[in-house]
Every structure is written in structure tokens, then in C-alpha cells.
A and B are shown apart, each in its own frame.
Chain A
Amino acid sequence: MHTSATNEAAAIEMRAVSKRYANGTLANDGVSLRIARGEIHAIVGENGAGKSTVMKMLYGLEQPSAGEIFVNGVPVHFADPREAIAAGIGLVPQHLELVGSFTVAENVVLGCEPMRGLLVDRRRAETEVAAVSQRFGLGVDPRAVVRELSVGEQQRVEILKTLYRGARIVLLDEPSAVLTPHETGALFMALRRLVSAGCTVVLITHKLSEVRDVSDRFTVMRAGKVTGEWVSLSVRDADFAEVITGRPVPSLRVTRRVRQVFGQEIEQNKVPLVAVRRLALQGHDGRAQLEALSFDIAAGEILGVAGVEGNGQAPLAEVLGGLRGPSEGSATLDGEVFTGRGVRAVRARRVASIPADRLHDGVAAGMTITENVIAVDYHRPPLSRRGWLDVRAAREATRRLLADYGVVARSADEPIASLSGGNMQKVVLAREVASRPRLLIASQPTRGVDVAAAQFLRQRLVDLRDSGAAVLLISSDLDEILALSDRIAVMYRGRIVAHFPADTDAGELGLYMTGLRGDAATAATLDAPLTQVSTQASEQAGKKEMV
């Protein structure tokens, strides 16, 4: 039984809210949380923990299957975002929704423009927007053209949009996902000003730095449930990391063959097969996507790149795969440079690549299995001669591949979209491995893949390694990295920030993955020193989950 005093103090309260989707997924299971007025509250969890669903229900994009939601003590049922907005809730989306050629003021008032007769009252819009910006300390020039603003400023325009419509509870979806560290700092200051001007801020995030640096309290969610609620200041750094890594899921231990001859040779020779030196990439917007990356991969070695997605892994894979050229630096295989020459050149050097987005880049979703399998080598015998495809050879090769990889399909001419995610990925792997690459870049190789297939794929990666190839494993699945890698590099904000041997503690990795342990650039070359494991973490290494 809550006293009315306690009720009124809460900006948002959810009591035993559950959400079951039409397809049966239980996204939220009895979620209860309380966000006090005037605080900055973070809802934390990994991808799939259920926090996005909470956000959608608070904003009226989804409706709860059970439980109640209270806003400022009043029970609410939002049928759509308009009702949420009317109740004073605003959402700043992760992917900005602004019209680039319009000014800030025009963007903010879009949809509810102040009118003077039949015309839009531009001046009033600008004054009103300036006033709101002033009041909440956002510091945005209403006359600036949005396209010319930095991402951080654009995000503040999004915040302005919500405030202009009367929001006093502002939800932010993964706000620092698109920001540089500097911009993130500016955002946090802006959020504090918001709060001191009377707003309540809710951050939906999986980035621990946000939780630690700006939130007053936070709620942790895992697998659709709330696992705890803490006051930020009272939690120590190392414990934060445990939140993201959590209790390890029983990992699929892949039998890693004892590293016999190869291992010893490498220890002695220290000559890398693949050497990347000071690889840098500038994006179209001028921001650095990769900064002075240096790492090696020896023959018969898996180098795992750990990190939260969005910290430069995709650009790295693109550069090494030949899709983009680096702004600086290069990568060599056996001493020969292969970056910056296009995809065909890369493949000619026997570098293969499994892309992270299977449906977009990994397969041609509308074509048959055979047409997908031959996509890399179709221009060479035996698959074609002088421009003429040998369909029978192609089908044969495909059938063999399907058999080898345990993919059951009615025929090689089935559309590839009829395969499950796991089987599709097997086809992708098979295709890449068929060319006997010396370097395989595997990005998120088991994402969206069922357990059995994932196991199979991982074993194949290990087999490839054991045959003397170099494997670059880029994965946001820490268990996978830990199970497969011989060495681990941690990427954060486009740099390598740590270099660990296999079997490093997950907590330690987590600290670097989230930038909590600092983000100085390190090299992961064969002769580079290994990052020191902090004593604090080693103390915590054996600790159980906090109460």
C-alpha cells in the first residue's frame, strides 16, 4: 500500500507490467520500477533485455499486456504516442528524425507550427524555440540549418522537440550511441540542466559510462525482468561491469585442439601472417571511424576483437574486406599490402570475409542457394570458362558444400531464403572457406543462428585456424570471443584499447569494452605488451552477483 505522498513523488511508476507480443515472445515479465521526479534514471540492460519494450510502452508505441503504468501518480493507458505527448512524455529516438535542410526552429515546430493567418509565423517559431532552448539550457541556435550541425547538436534539437511540445519527462533511447566522447560530455551537462529546470530524464541504455557518469539511479533489466535497482553513486566500478557481463550463460565450449606445432612456432618466430599498421579511416562527416589501429594475426591463430557494436568493428571489417580504402595505414598479408585496392584484389590475396549483416550483405536473399554459393569464385574455372557458367559444376559444388556442412535442402536450386538463419550462415561460411583463405574476417558469425548451428560454425572456425589460416573474429558475444580466441583485442571508439591473452576474465574485458578503464590506444601486435589486469578486477573475479 503506497501513501499518496510516495505516489505523487514518482514521475513514472510501473507495477508488474508484462508485455507479450502476438508471436508469443514475452518481452517484459512483471516489470516494476519507479522513477522519481527530477532525477536522471537509467534503465540498463543488454540487447534483448526488454528495456526497449519498456520505453515503447511508456511512449504509447506498445500497450502492456498486464500491469499498470502511472505518470505523476495518475494511471495511464496510452493508445499512441500522441497521448503520451499529451501526458508530458517525450522521446528522443536513437536514430535522429530531422529534416536536414530545415532550420532548427522549423524542425522543432514541424507539425504544430505557429501561424499568422495563412502563413507560418517564422519569427514567432524562432523566438519560442529560443525561449525553450534558453530555459532548459540547451544552447541551440534556432536559425541554424540542421544539416550543418554536429550530431550532438542535432540530438539536442531532438530534445528541444520534446520540450517544445510540453514534455517534462524525457526518454532518451541509447543517446550516446552516435556521439563522440566529447559530445557525450556535452549531452550529460545538458541533461543535468534539464533536470535542474524541472524535468525528469530517463535513459534507456546499455552503455555503462552513461549510467555511471550521469544517472542518479538505475534499474537493471535482464531477460525481460528487473534484476535490481541501485543508486549510482553507491556502486563501485567493477560491480558496474558485472552488470553488463552478468552471470555467464553456460558457454558452448568448443574443443580447442591443443596448439601443437603451430603454437610453438609462433611463439618462437613472432612473424605475423597478417600485419595491420596504423590503420585509420575517416567517415564522410569528418569523424574518425578508425584511429591508428595496429594489430597482427599469426598463421594458425584466432584474434578476437571484443567490443560493443558500433565502436568501429564494421568499418574495420569493411576496410580489410576491400569495400573501403583506409585514410591512413595499411594491412599486409605475407608482407603484401591488400588494403585500398578493392574487393577483387583482396580476394585475390585469399582474404575472405563473413559480413555482420547476413541478409543485407551476406546473401542475395532473392536468389537460389547455388547462385549464392558461387558468388565469390564464379568468374574462374571450374565454375565458369571464358564468361560461360558451368551450371552443372556449380550445382555439384553446391551439393557437396551442403552435404559437408550438414545443410538439408531439397535441391541446390532452392531459394536461399527458405533456409533457416543457421543454415544460411553455414552457406555463407562454406562459400568463404571454400576458397581456402589465408585470412578470414568473421563478423558476428553466429548472430541469429540456432545453438546447434552456432556450435558447428565455431568448430569450423577453429578447424580453419588449425589448418594454418589467420582468423579475425569480430563479435559482440563475449562468450564466443572467450571460447575461440587465442588473443583478444578490445575495441572502443575506433581504437584498440586493450590487448589480452585468451582466458582473460570477462569482467576485465567488460571494463575496457565500456570505456570504464580508459580509452588510450594500444597495439595488439604480436610483440606488443599485454594489458595489465587490474588488481581490483582480479579480486572481484570470483565474486558472485551482488545482492
Chain B
Amino acid sequence: MSAAILDTPLATPRAAPVRLHTAFAVIAALAVGFAITALVSDAPVRAFLALITGALPDIRWSDAQGFEVRRLVRFGSVVEDAITLTFLGLAIAIPFRARQFSLGADGQMFLAALASAGVSLYMPGPWFVVLPLAFTAAIATGFVWGLVPGLLKARYSANEIVTTLMLNVIAIQFYRLLISEHLRDPNAGFLVTPVFPSAALLPGLMPHTNVSAMLFVVPFVVAAGWAFLMRTTLGYEIRTVGQAAPFARQVGMPVTRAVVLSMAVGGAFAALAGVHIGNALLKRLPVDLSPGLGFEGLVVALLARNDPKAVPLAAFLYAYLRTGAQAMERTTDVSREVVLVIQAFIILFVVSQRLLPAGWPRALLRRRGNTALKLEQA
């Protein structure tokens, strides 16, 4: 690929101006979304209000029954999505810290879900046997599938954007093949696996929603992601390679190994999203599980500036908007895909370097670092 200089600054630890920029980007994107809504809707303000507040639970007080919380189901779906997106955000953020543009989260997620389904359906035993095994199988699968583009990059200098996209296709087709041919439920009217036995399901937390015990897993996973990057030698290598590859080479860091493993570890995190979808949300795997969540993970990672600590918040914000969009669609004449438009503009605004005029310590972060970022030279 010709020189594609990744100018996106990496995680910026303490720059308040950066958070300002991000906030500004989100607001600007919402404004654009509003403008588009206004073009097609008769009541754009009402629609947009529904977007912003639609995901909130409805807390009322009446004399007769005291506090009542309604629409928890809707809020529940925000939480569900946020969990999935947190995992996916981490899956993208970690390779990104090594300046690797790994878009393979979709494929890793699908294959991991498949592995987990295999264990869930065929492994007998109580939950404390099945679940850990399912997790392990999934994580191992995601790790290995993430290793592939890394190795292709290391051995053949194959650009990871193209390879991960191709691998996604392969993974998803394999998923569909396996579900159609080997894992399908003969009794179901459509192509889907049988429902997982209860030993393989994560216990629910909120009634009528799919919010499950996975919620408790999230803080640990986020902490693990943070600890991996900031407290392990491998994480340190990944960050240094991403920030200053010539320096890393000069001091003898195993640069290639760091690059390869960054993608593999990303795959492990994507795997958790797969387990979440299969063992918590859907409780079975349909053949037509739609791909594309990986790209949403990308937006989350960008919003969080590739900082694990910020990923859950970004994921939540994202999921919140998504669910709000669904609410908006139900109550107004605006369809929920407008949130995709907002997504796109969030991305565009967030990665714009010259959005707000001067006055940022950008030079601090980008000085000389960019010479290391040019892909390909003769």
C-alpha cells in the first residue's frame, strides 16, 4: 500500500484539550445528524429528543404505587450493547496502540462464538465446567485468528487492513457453513443452532432483558486490558513500538513479536464479544448474525482514544445512541439508521487534526514520531 501515514494520535494520557476535542466532535456530529433528520422528518425536534432520551428508563412517582421504573427493558438493551461494544472496542484499541489497523474483530468474534457454541452444545456438565471451557475455547480461537494477520504482516509485509478484511470474510463464511451444515437445530424453522443448555448460559440480571452476569465480567476485562497495556512487558513493548518504532529497535525490543501479539491479543478480546452474543444475548447462534459490529468497535476505540479506561464509557455512549435511535424509530417517522450517519460524522470529526485552531500540545506527541509511521519503502 502506498504511504498511508497514520496521523491519528494515540492514547493521550492527560491532555484536557483532547477530551474537549472529543466532546466537540460528538456534539458536531449530533448537529449534523439533526440537520439530516430535519430534512426528512416532519417533526425533527421531537425525533431528536426521542433519540437523546429514548434509552433512558422512565422513573415516575405516583401516590398509589410510589416509585416506578419503566422501560427498563430498553435500558437493558443499552447495557447489553455496551458490554459487547466494550469488548470490541478493546479488541481494536490494543492493536491500534502498536499502530496496527486490525479490522478483524468481526471474524474473530464469529469464530470465537462458534467455538463457544461448540463447547456449550456438546460439553456435558455443570456451569462451572462448561462456562470456563467455553470462555477458554473462545479466547483461544480469537487469539489464534488474530495471530494470522500478524504473522502475514511479519513474514510477508502483508498490509493488515486487507488481510483482516479478507480473513473476516473467510471466518464468517466458515461460521455460516458450520451452522448450516453441522450445528443446526433440525426443529427450528430457520437456520440456527439449538438453544444452549442452561449450564452454558450466563445468568440473567435484569428481568425481561438479556443483561447477564457478563456485566460483572466487564470491569475485570477492562482492568485486564489496561493492565496488559500498562503493566506488562509485552504491553510496554506494544506501546513503545506504536509510539516510536525506531527507538524500540534501537534499544533492542522485539518489534515484530510485539506487532504480531498485539493483533492476537486483540483477537482474544473480540472473542469475549462472541461469547457474550452467543451465551448471554441470543442463547443460540443464527446463521444470519449480521457482521459489522467490528466497525462499531472501531468507532468506540476512536472515541476512547484507544485508552482502555475510556472504552466502557465510549461503548456506553454509543450503545445509548443506538438504542435511542430504535426508540426514535418506533415513535416517530425517522428510521434508526440515522444513528449510523451520526456515527460516521463522529468518526470524521474525532480524527480531524485541525478541527479547532491552534493551542494544543500536539507537537509534544507527534514530534518525529511520524517518520516511523510510513508504511512501505522500497
Contacts and interface: CB of A to CB of B under 8 A. Distances in A.
A355 B246 CA distance: 11
A387 B227 CA distance: 12
A353 B247 CA distance: 12
Contact of A359 (B233, B252, B368): B368
Contacts of A418: 364
B364 A389 contact: no
Determine which residue in A346, A361, A415, A417 has the highest number of CB atoms from chain B within 10 A of its CB, and name it.
A361
Contact of A342 (B247, B252, B371, B378): B252
Determine which residue in B231, B247, B367 has the highest number of CB atoms from chain A within 10 A of its CB, and name it.
B247
A493 to B, nearest CB: 24
Interface stretch (B34-42, B157-165, B235-243): B235-243
A344 B250 CA distance: 10
A384 interface: yes
Given A344-B252, A417-B367, A389 B247 contact: no
B251 A391 contact: no
Determine which residue in B244, B250, B369, B372 has the highest number of CB atoms from chain A within 10 A of its CB, and name it.
B250
A152 to B, nearest CB: 19
B250 A365 contact: no
A364 B366 CA distance: 11
A323 interface: yes
B192 to A, nearest CB: 42
Nearest to A384: B233
A17 to B, nearest CB: 32
B14 to A, nearest CB: 9
A366 B244 contact: yes
Nearest to A342: B252
Contacts of A375: 240, 247-248, 251, 253
A149 B367 CA distance: 34
Given A344-B252, A346-B252, A363 B247 contact: yes
A315 interface: no
A365 B368 contact: yes
A389 B368 contact: no
A371 B236 contact: yes
Determine which residue in B230, B246, B252, B254 has the highest number of CB atoms from chain A within 10 A of its CB, and name it.
B252
Given A388-B233, A389-B233, A415-B364, A366 B251 contact: no
B19 to A, nearest CB: 17
Interface residues of B, number: 29
A347 B243 CA distance: 22
A279 to B, nearest CB: 20
B247 A362 contact: yes
B70 interface: no
A323 B244 CA distance: 15
B236 A389 contact: yes
Contacts of A379: 233
Interface residues of A, number: 34
Contacts of A343: 249-252
B252 A367 contact: no
B225 to A, nearest CB: 15
A21 to B, nearest CB: 18
Given A366-B244, A417-B367, A323 B250 contact: yes
A437 interface: no
Contacts, number: 87
A388 B232 contact: yes
A376 interface: yes
Contact of A388 (B231, B364, B368): B231
Nearest to B254: A344
A321 interface: yes
B163 to A, nearest CB: 26
A387 B252 contact: no
A480 B247 CA distance: 26
A142 to B, nearest CB: 23
A367 B369 CA distance: 11
A415 B250 CA distance: 20
A378 B233 contact: yes
A437 to B, nearest CB: 13
Nearest to A431: B251
Contacts of A362: 247, 250
B240 A371 contact: yes
Nearest to B366: A366
Contacts of B243: 364-367
B369 A323 contact: no
B365 interface: yes
B119 interface: no
B11 to A, nearest CB: 10
B250 A366 contact: no
Interface string A319-350: 00111000000000000000000111011000
B234 A387 contact: yes
A360 interface: yes
Interface in A387-413: 387-389, 391
Nearest to B364: A417
A387 to B, nearest CB: 5
B10 interface: yes
A344 B256 CA distance: 14
A268 B247 CA distance: 40
Contacts of B371: 360
Nearest to B231: A389
Contact of A376 (B10, B233, B246, B251): B251
Interface in A442-461: none
Contact of B240 (A346, A364, A388, A415): A364
Determine which residue in B244, B248, B367 has the highest number of CB atoms from chain A within 10 A of its CB, and name it.
B244
B231 A361 contact: no
Contacts of B254: 344
A524 B248 CA distance: 32
A363 B239 CA distance: 14
A362 B365 CA distance: 15
A360 B239 contact: no
B302 to A, nearest CB: 18
A391 B231 CA distance: 7
Contact of A347 (B233, B239, B246, B252): B252
Determine which residue in A347, A364, A365, A378 has the highest number of CB atoms from chain B within 10 A of its CB, and name it.
A364
Contacts of A322: 252
B125 to A, nearest CB: 32
Contacts of B234: 387
Closest 6 CB pairs of A and B: A343-B252, A364-B244, A361-B250, A375-B251, A344-B252, A359-B368
Interface of B: 10, 230-234, 236, 239-240, 243-244, 246-254, 364-369, 371-372, 378
Given A363-B247, A364-B248, A374-B236, 20 more contacts: A343-B252, A344-B254, A353-B250, A360-B246, A360-B247, A361-B249, A361-B250, A362-B247, A362-B250, A365-B243, A365-B368, A366-B10, A366-B366, A366-B367, A367-B239, A375-B251, A378-B236, A384-B233, A389-B231, A389-B236
22 contacts: A323-B249, A346-B252, A360-B247, A360-B368, A360-B371, A360-B372, A361-B246, A361-B250, A363-B244, A364-B248, A365-B365, A366-B365, A366-B367, A371-B240, A378-B233, A387-B233, A389-B230, A389-B231, A389-B236, A391-B231, A417-B364, A418-B364
